[in-house]
Amino acid sequence: MQDLLYFSQQLINGLTIGSAYALIAIGYTMVYGIIGMINFAHGEIYMIGAYTALIAITGLTALGIAWLPLILIVALLCAMLVSSSMGWAVERIAYRPVRGRHRLIPLISAIGMSIFLQNYVHLAQGSRNVGFPALIEGGFNFSADGAFEMSLSYMQITIFVTTLVCMTALSLFISRSRTGRACRAVSQDLGMASLLGIDTNRIISATFIIGAALAAVAGLLLGMYYGSVDPLFGFIAGLKAFTAAVLGGIGSIPGAMLGGLILGVSESMTSGYLSGEYKDVVSFGLLILILLFKPTGLLGKPEVEKI
For 65-77, b/e burial (b = at least 16 CB within 10 A) is: eeeeeebbebbbe
How far is Cα 184 from Cα 30, in angstroms, rounded to an integer?
10
CB of 97 to another protein, least distance (A): 33
What part of residues 141-200 is at the interface with another protein (CB under 8 A)? 141, 147-149, 151, 153, 155
E strands present in the chain:
130-131, 139-143, 149-153, 228-229
What part of residues 233-262 is at the interface with another protein (CB under 8 A)? 233, 235-237
Mask: binding to another protein, 7-46, rule CB under 8 A, as x and -? Answer: --xx--xx-xx-----------------------------
Q: Using CB under 8 A, which of 4, 70, 137, 173 touches another protein?
A: 137
CB of 296 to another protein, least distance (A): 29
CB of 268 to another protein, least distance (A): 4
For 256-281, b/e burial (b = at least 16 CB within 10 A) is: bbbbbbbbbbbbbbbbbeeeeeebee
Mask: binding to another protein, 205-234, rule CB under 8 A, as x and -? Answer: -----------------x--xxxx-x-xx-
Q: How many CA atoms lie within 13 A of 118 on its CB side?
A: 16
The 10 Å Cβ neighbour count of residue 141 is 10
CB of 264 to another protein, least distance (A): 9
CB of 209 to another protein, least distance (A): 26
CA angle 230, 20, 290 (to 5 degrees): 110
Q: Which one-letter amino acid corresponds to residue 217?
A: V
91 vs 267, which CB is nearer to another protein? 267
Main-chain phi, psi angles of 138, to 5 degrees: 85, 180
User: What is the Cα Rg of the chain in Å?
Assistant: 20
114 vs 268, which CB is nearer to another protein? 268
95 vs 225, which CB is nearer to another protein? 225
How far is Cα 10 from Cα 307, in angstroms, rounded to an integer?
48
Q: How many CA atoms lie within 13 A of 92 on its CB side?
A: 10
Q: Is 61 in the site for another protein (CB under 8 A)?
A: no
Interface residues toward another protein, by CB under 8 A: 6, 9-10, 13-14, 16-17, 128-131, 133-134, 137, 141, 147-149, 151, 153, 155, 222, 225-228, 230, 232-233, 235-237, 267-268, 271-272, 275-277, 279-280
